Amino acid sequence: MCSMDRISYRLVANKDELEEAFEVRRRVFVSEQGIDENLEWDGHDGEALHMVVKDGEMVVGTARVLFLPDKQAKIERMAVLEPFRNRGIGRGIISFLSEELKTRDIEEAVLHAQHTAVGFYRACGFKETGLPFWEADIKHIKMERRL
């Protein structure tokens, strides 16, 4: 189904790629996880940096970044299509974004991890900060990592 040598990571290059990224988010967050469309489409996509993961020409993963004050950036909406999970793509997204953010003089990445993904983000060098909270009826915790 997927050979890893065809996997590529890059910033969204055009409107079509952005629409494909949105479709990955729709499938993962709205269809799979049952998140309300109005919560998923929060009005921040226009100001965000978007990236895609492609298997050949097909977008199979995505994430967006919002830039915060004090040289911080927030990684959000990270999603990988189900058939492509557990193949290192998520770790590749974090690695790609970390390098990209360093080039933009960002010193710290923050994110709101779904409770089930905390172990993954810990393995990527993030640490929990603060108490768990509920967002879109899913338990989350804030995590951060120096770049």
Domain spans, the chain: 4-146
The whole-number pLDDT of residue 4 equals: 56
Please, what's the largest Cα pairwise distance for the chain?
Answer: 42
Spatial distance between the Cα atoms of 4 and 84, rounded to a whole number of angstroms:
10
Reading the block at residue 48, the tokens are 């965000």
pLDDT per residue as tens, the chain (147 positions): 444 569 999 999 999 999 999 999 999 999 999 999 999 999 999 999 999 999 999 999 999 999 999 999 999 999 999 999 999 999 999 999 999 999 999 999 999 999 999 999 999 999 999 899 999 999 999 999 999
94-132 per-residue burial string, b: 16 or more CB within 10 A, e: under 16: bebbbebbeeeebeebbbebbeebbeebeebebeeeeee
Reading the block at residue 122, the tokens are 């810990």
Q: Are 110 and 143 in contact (CB under 8 A)?
A: yes
Spatial distance between the Cα atoms of 30 and 26, rounded to a whole number of angstroms:
5
DSSP H or E stretch at residue 107 = none
pTM comes to 0.93
The whole-number pLDDT of residue 130 equals: 87
CATH code linked to domain 4-146: 3.40.630.30
Reading the block at residue 141, the tokens are 């915790």
